[in-house]
Structure 1
Amino acid sequence: MQIYIVEQGDTLASIAAAHYADIFGIIYDNQIPYPYRLAIGQALLITGPEDSRAVPYGAYVNGYAYPFIGNYVLGQTLPYLTSLSVFSYGFTTEGYLIPPTPDDVPMIQAAVEAGTAPVLTLTPFGPDGRFNNYLISVLVNDWEVRRTLIQELLYTIDEKGFRGVDIDFEFILAQDRDSFTSFVAQVRSEVNKLGYPVSVALAPKTSDTQTGLLYEGKDYEGLGEAADSVLLMTYEWGYTYGPAMAVAPLNKVKEVVEYAITKIPPEKIDLGIPNYGYDWTLPFVRGASKALTIGNVEAVQIAIENGADIQFDETAMSPWFRYHRYGTGHEVWFEDVRSLQAKFDLIRSYGLRGMGYWQIMQLFRANWLLLDYNFGIRKR
């Protein structure tokens, strides 16, 4: 298996011939649509024989998905996942769970049939669909609300066949930090009695004293002890309302990992990996600009349709390009097999447990093939 970067004058036929590869295999693996055009700078995964897979690393692989995920995408992805986080269950101020819509039973059943553990993801979303720190405060500081919610969790796990809980709380107030850590430990104690693990998502901190609503309520060391595992949400440097930049620049991701391993054993840490990119309009105007979320396969097609050459930032280890449409400038950052390989190398070099993908709603087949090549995790 190798990664090839498309050059001027290349065709699929010439690339396949040069690498003694099956042209239709390249088309399928890289999801290249008819009429099979390529972009200069595009990274292609060229697969080798089955026996070229890596010696299994034992990497843990989680993917987040909404219940409305397409059956084909889910079926193509489940063989590569250790667990599937169903996104998401909310709760009321009294501690009663609010299930997702549509019904999540079909995806839970599909996961179990594929040998993938379905995980209940708990989030504190308010009526506006955003993280609500008032809900968090009520829950973590009221023992009766805690008791009710934990009973609800245990009942739902048993009723629906979940095999774990993931706690994804964001914008926790600084004064609720220790209460939140205590809540995670309490959930873990009860869920562990059923034989299932509890994970917690962590905002990407780089120091104990980092300020900001995303960071002050998350005690890395305390949560590392309270939960069975943690997910570092190492993405969203480039985000919907921010300036154009890599979503998960490797230099920034590495800073988070290097801090995290001083507080949490590496074998309890999963690295967050984005399965998406953004298309920004230029110039960026804070408060007015809004990037469009796009898929990684879609990003390449945008480059092709607009005659853009794909560049690669060697510091961020991320692909990007600019183009113009209807008199407006655009800048796109996304993930490809080069940026993903850099993240896989980081996981291995720091001895992390594995990774968690936000999210798997769009199929990026080359990612999963590359993942299997690196870690030997696909269920046959």
Structure 2
Amino acid sequence: MKIYVVKQGDSVDTIAASQGIPVENLLFDNQIGYPYRLAVGQALYIRDEVPFDERMPLYVFGYAYPIISPDNLENTLPYLTDLYVFSYGFTMEGDLVPPMSPDDWMIERAWQLGVRPVLTLTPLGPDGHFNNSLVSSVVHNREVQQRLIWSLGLKMMEKGFAGLDIDFEYIMAADRLAYADFVKRTTQIMNQFGYQVTVALAPKTSAAQSGLLYEGVDYRLLGEAANRVLLMTYEWGYTFGPPMAVAPINMVRKVVDYAITEIPKEKISLGIPNYGYDWPLPYERGVTRARTINNLEAVQIAIDHGAEIQFDEVAMSPFFRYWQYGVQHEVWFEDVRSYKAKFDLIQEYGLTGAGYWQIMQFFRANWLLMEQMFDIKKFSA
């Protein structure tokens, strides 16, 4: 496996010839469409038909809304162990709220390709934002818990789900112990029926980390309560924040360093972003809002504006700036170099899983690189 960085004067023909591969492979693997333009600094995956000698087994999943295009889902499923359907909510009384779009077709197709569909539970309010009052209502009231867990079990049997993912965010500090107890109780009940339970964790670097995103999340208790955890190691660069890498590897490493002191590494999946952001400059706190873009779109923006893609060796992430209509922009995204840094970290720490937020856009080079480095776990229907 090689990664080639485009230089001034390169073309798809010259790169393919220099790497000894058919140009068709280069185009297909990197999703390069006609007229086959490239950006200086663009990283390309160069296929090696020989896999690594010893590939670690890896549990791989990705979150997807039911509105995902059938083609994107079809292309991605061969690289997944589990498909996390996003998302089911619940009311203050513990009644389950289904996704806004039908998910039956996703569940059926996942099973057909040997991928287990997993129900994702979130405390999302009617406005689409996480509601910590919903969290409090369920973790402190046994009757509400019982109704919710019963509803989950019925829905999972009815729909054919194979597991449950609990993705609660902005948990209040006062709910920390009760939330861990809720996850433990839910896991114990679900395990009796053959369902595994995953819990998503905000990216903490210490037990005493302050802030609404972190104070209600107890790594040790939640690691003990659930069958597996996802470290949500992304969103350092985010919609309302200043321009920076979405998942800088130096910060991701700090989260993993802390996590393995509280949770067995065999239970840990590393969160990986499948998107980037485009910020207008200058950044003004409370005013500037970044636009979410996918990785292929980021490269296309660089091509269209003649921007050279740079690579931050500390964050291990690509970025560039460009001008449009008199406004300068800064873009951070993911490429095969940034993904390889994350895969190398998984191997270094002996983690056993990778979870993608999200798989709504298909980025082939990532999956080919992962398949080259890992033995992706699959289960028969």
| TM-score over 0.5 (shorter chain) | yes
1:99 matches 2:73: no
**Alignment check: 8 A CA contact 2:81 2:378 kept:** no
Offset from partner CA, 1:137-162 (integer Å, 9 cap, x none): 01000000000000001101110010
For residues 330 and 56 of structure 1, do their structure 2 counterparts lie closer, same or farther at Cα, with a shift above 3 Å needed?
A: same
- AA partner of residue 64 (structure 2): A
What is aligned with 1:157? 156
Q: Tell me how far 1:69 sits from its aligned partner.
A: 0.6
For residues 298 and 378 of structure 1, do their structure 2 counterparts lie closer, same or farther at Cα, with a shift above 3 Å needed?
A: farther
Matches within 5 A, 1:171-320: 171-320=170-319
Matches within 5 A, 1:299-378: 299-377=298-376
What is aligned with 2:85? 86
What is aligned with 2:122? 123
Q: Tell me how far 1:127 sits from its aligned partner.
A: 1.5
- AA partner of residue 287 (structure 1): G
**Alignment check: 8 A CA contact 1:39 1:303 kept:** yes
Matches within 5 A, 1:26-65: 26-49=26-49, 51-65=50-64
TM-score (norm 2): 0.98
**Alignment check: 8 A CA contact 1:204 1:233 kept:** yes
Sequence identity (%): 61
For the residue of structure 2 that corresponds to 1:95, the secondary structure is: coil
What is aligned with 2:107? 108
For the residue of structure 2 that corresponds to 1:58, the secondary structure is: strand
Q: Tell me how far 1:14 sits from its aligned partner.
A: 0.5
**Alignment check: 8 A CA contact 1:54 1:373 kept:** no
- AA partner of residue 137 (structure 2): V
For residues 175 and 379 of structure 1, do their structure 2 counterparts lie closer, same or farther at Cα, with a shift above 3 Å needed?
A: closer
For the residue of structure 1 that corresponds to 2:262, the secondary structure is: coil
**Alignment check: 8 A CA contact 2:273 2:356 kept:** yes
What is aligned with 2:12? 12
Q: Distance in 2 between matches of 1:22 and 1:267?
A: 40
**Alignment check: 8 A CA contact 2:58 2:374 kept:** yes
For the residue of structure 1 that corresponds to 2:343, the secondary structure is: helix
Offset from partner CA, 1:91-124 (integer Å, 9 cap, x none): 0111010010211000000111110110000000
Write out the 4+ residue segments of structure 1 that deviate beyond 4 Å after TM superposition: none
Q: Distance in 2 between matches of 1:121 and 1:66?
A: 10
**Alignment check: 8 A CA contact 1:54 1:374 kept:** no
Q: Tell me how far 1:56 sits from its aligned partner.
A: 3.4
1:144 matches 2:173: no
1:67 matches 2:71: no
Q: Distance in 2 between matches of 1:145 and 1:54?
A: 51
Q: Number of residues paired by the alignment?
A: 379
Q: Distance in 1 between matches of 2:159 and 2:30?
A: 36
**Alignment check: 8 A CA contact 1:59 1:377 kept:** yes
For residues 298 and 360 of structure 1, do their structure 2 counterparts lie closer, same or farther at Cα, with a shift above 3 Å needed?
A: same
Q: Distance in 2 between matches of 1:22 and 1:97?
A: 52
**Alignment check: 8 A CA contact 1:54 1:372 kept:** no
Q: Distance in 1 between matches of 2:302 and 2:32?
A: 13
Q: Tell me how far 1:36 sits from its aligned partner.
A: 0.3
Structure 2: stretches of 5+ with no match in the other structure: none
**Alignment check: 8 A CA contact 2:58 2:377 kept:** no
Q: Distance in 2 between matches of 1:379 and 1:228?
A: 18
- AA partner of residue 264 (structure 1): I
For the residue of structure 2 that corresponds to 1:153, the secondary structure is: helix
For residues 362 and 39 of structure 1, do their structure 2 counterparts lie closer, same or farther at Cα, with a shift above 3 Å needed?
A: same
**Alignment check: 8 A CA contact 1:281 1:330 kept:** yes
Q: Tell me how far 1:376 sits from its aligned partner.
A: 2.9
Structure 1: stretches of 5+ with no match in the other structure: none
Offset from partner CA, 1:142-184 (integer Å, 9 cap, x none): 0000000000011011100100000000000100000000000
- AA partner of residue 325 (structure 2): Y
Q: Distance in 1 between matches of 2:39 and 2:124?
A: 40
- AA partner of residue 241 (structure 1): F
TM-score (norm 1): 0.98
**Alignment check: 8 A CA contact 1:53 1:376 kept:** no
Q: Distance in 1 between matches of 2:172 and 2:83?
A: 29
Q: Distance in 1 between matches of 2:156 and 2:126?
A: 24
